[in-house]
Structure 1
Amino acid sequence: MAEIKIESFAKINLCLDVLKRREDGYHEIKTVMQQIDLKDIITLKDNEDKVIIETNHPQVPTDSTNLVYKAWKLLSNRYNIDKGVYIKIDKNIPVAAGLAGGSSNAAAVLKGLNELWSLNISQKELMELAAQIGADVPFCIMGGTALAEGIGEKLTKLSSFSDKLILLAKPSISVSTAYVYKNLELNKIDFRPNTNDIIRYIEENNLESLATNMGNVLETVTIKEYPIIKEIKDKMIQYGALGSLMSGSGPTVFGIFKNEDDAIKCKAELSKHIDTVHVVKTL
């Protein structure tokens, strides 16, 4: 029986601006997305008659609500493939954390089934299909560094920003993305990140300027609700981070470090109070 293993990488947002609320209820955003080397491993095997999803994480659904199921359904319907699949998800990316773990898993299944079923779908077409599953899924197909616009599905590949040292910390709270966007008051945002500047700093490989000019307008909602997010940001700066930001709608916070010793010391300090802390690198 053929078996395929695929790496499924997390992402952070180096900046995130929300431009407006659309009539359909979605929000227009402008964000720079960056893949990091924190990853899940997805194993796929042929299974004749049904979809079986297994995982090592109790909070990950194993039914049709999981995005990996939606990825299977999308491809099997589109290409008239009448068979199931066995999907095993070895989770390392925190769940509901603003790191696109579920979206990344769905992207990995699209890529894996493309190979397992010998469909020969181009990356461009795979990304177009991925947009039907969720706004972050096309980026997880593309990877690297990208500007995302629209609801996140309009992607522009950017210069590589790989091998940068990142400390991630996820407090043990759950944040609803829908709640954050619903409570975002666009007319009361004092600071908006300058996305064009962030892109220029990436092109110049100017780590210090990028780190000190990052911004995420969703922090205006999430920090009010969960002050621990600001406490983590402050702690990272105190321990030598060049800059610190909440990723996506949270609650994960990341810091950009130049010095690995500083990142390791900060990890040790944060780990006293927070279960999920990782030193990672950008891809």
Structure 2
Amino acid sequence: MLVWEKAPAKINLSLDVLYKRPDGYHEVEMVMTMVDLADRLEMHELTRDTIILSSQAGYIPLDEKNLAFQAAKLIKEHYGVEKGVYIHLDKKIPVAAGLAGGSSDAAATLRGLNRLWKLGASQEELMKLGARLGSDIPFCIAGGTAVARGRGEQLTRISAPPQCWVVLAKPPINVSTSDVYGRLRAAEIPKHPDTDAVLEAIRNGDFQSLCGSLGNVLEDVTLSLYPEVERLKDVMLKLGAEGVLMSGSGPTVFGLVAKQKKAERIYNGLRGFCKEVYAVRMLV
């Protein structure tokens, strides 16, 4: 039996850090949604009790450093599965980009192996399992649009944002999420994003208000380390994107665009600025 799963990228429409918790994590409040840029995973069962991961991408680890591999190992151990699996990962989402590519791959692995091995696990059970590996994985399992709190694993589903085009651009640098959070001084954040305004814009289907409410407290940290991210934001705004923000800890910058022709113009304009550029739709 062969199963396949799509692993879409996520973007943060709002990312706020409230304080640093006693357990070392940061208490966050984020509005996240998914876009139609996705990896694809194919899985088939092996009689030998082993995990084999392959990919056409030569720049990702194919062992226990890979979150998809870790997810396969975890679900096998948790449910006592003594069979093996071969997983092929067709990688499209840029790595270390603030788009939760690795987390989405892990989520797709958990969903796919649940089906392949007929484990009967509920979505909630898979989300709890995924939270052991990473804070974004529960959201990536559930999909859609959500407010994430706690360390990112406490989710409240909300309606989809107004449909629009999303232009994504990743400069040729990789950013460490743990490094960015490590440099963040939560008690000294000068201005917090207006999460309520983002939620109200989504409720009202108000695209312009949504564009005007975007915010990410990690931007100041990443922009101070990588000025090219700020330059990329400026270029995207000058090209006419209605709302521009860095996603996650970066370095990917996204622009929300109402019209397809403008999205195509911005896409073409950015192609001269950096190599990894995508024009996609929000997933509803």
Q: Specify the SS of the correspondent of 1:268.
A: helix
Give, in whole Å, the separation in 2 of the partners of 1:272 and 1:238: 14
What is the one-letter code of the residue matched to 2:151? Answer: I
Q: Which residue of 1 aligns with 2:210?
A: 210
Aligned-residue sequence identity (percent) comes to 46
Q: Are 1:27 and 2:26 an aligned pair?
A: yes
Q: Which residue of 2 aligns with 1:3?
A: 2
Q: Residues 164 and 259 of structure 2 are in contact (CA less than 8 Å); yes or no, is this contact kept in structure 1? A: no
Give, in whole Å, the separation in 1 of the partners of 2:154 and 2:193: 19
CA shift, 1:162, in A, is: 6.1
CA shift, 1:188, in A, is: 3.4
Q: Residues 139 and 146 of structure 1 are in contact (CA less than 8 Å); yes or no, is this contact kept in structure 2? A: yes
What is the one-letter code of the residue matched to 2:16? Answer: D
Give, in whole Å, the separation in 2 of the partners of 1:8 and 1:182: 28
Please list the CA deviations of residues 120-165 of structure 1 after superposition, one character each: whole Å capped at 9, or x if unmatched: 1111111111111110000001111000001100000011226321
Please list the CA deviations of residues 178-236 of structure 1 after superposition, one character each: whole Å capped at 9, or x if unmatched: 11111112243222111111111111111111111111000111011111111111111
Unaligned runs of 5+ in 2: none
Give, in whole Å, the separation in 2 of the partners of 1:119 and 1:77: 12
Give, in whole Å, the separation in 2 of the partners of 1:279 and 1:146: 22
TM-align CA RMSD: 1.1
Give, in whole Å, the separation in 1 of the partners of 2:16 and 2:264: 30
Q: Residues 162 and 207 of structure 2 are in contact (CA less than 8 Å); yes or no, is this contact kept in structure 1? A: no
Q: Which residue of 2 aligns with 1:182?
A: 182
Moved over 4 A (4+): none
Q: Specify the SS of the correspondent of 1:104.
A: helix
Q: Are 1:60 and 2:60 an aligned pair?
A: yes
Give, in whole Å, the separation in 2 of the partners of 1:76 and 1:14: 35
Using structure 2 for the length normalisation, give the TM-score.
0.97
Aligned residues: 282
Give, in whole Å, the separation in 1 of the partners of 2:239 and 2:68: 38
Give, in whole Å, the separation in 1 of the partners of 2:47 and 2:211: 49
Q: Residues 27 and 149 of structure 2 are in contact (CA less than 8 Å); yes or no, is this contact kept in structure 1? A: yes
Q: Residues 162 and 281 of structure 1 are in contact (CA less than 8 Å); yes or no, is this contact kept in structure 2? A: no
Q: Specify the SS of the correspondent of 2:95.
A: coil
Q: Specify the SS of the correspondent of 1:54.
A: strand
Greater Cα shift, 88-97 or 23-32 = 23-32
What is the one-letter code of the residue matched to 1:19? Answer: L
**Quick one: structure 1 residues 273 and 236, their matched pair in 2 at CA, closer, same or farther if it must change by over 3 Å?**
closer
Q: Which residue of 2 aligns with 1:37?
A: 36
Unaligned runs of 5+ in 1: none
Give, in whole Å, the separation in 2 of the partners of 1:41 and 1:178: 26
Using structure 1 for the length normalisation, give the TM-score.
0.97
What is the one-letter code of the residue matched to 1:155? Answer: L
Give, in whole Å, the separation in 2 of the partners of 1:189 and 1:76: 42
Q: Specify the SS of the correspondent of 2:277.
A: strand
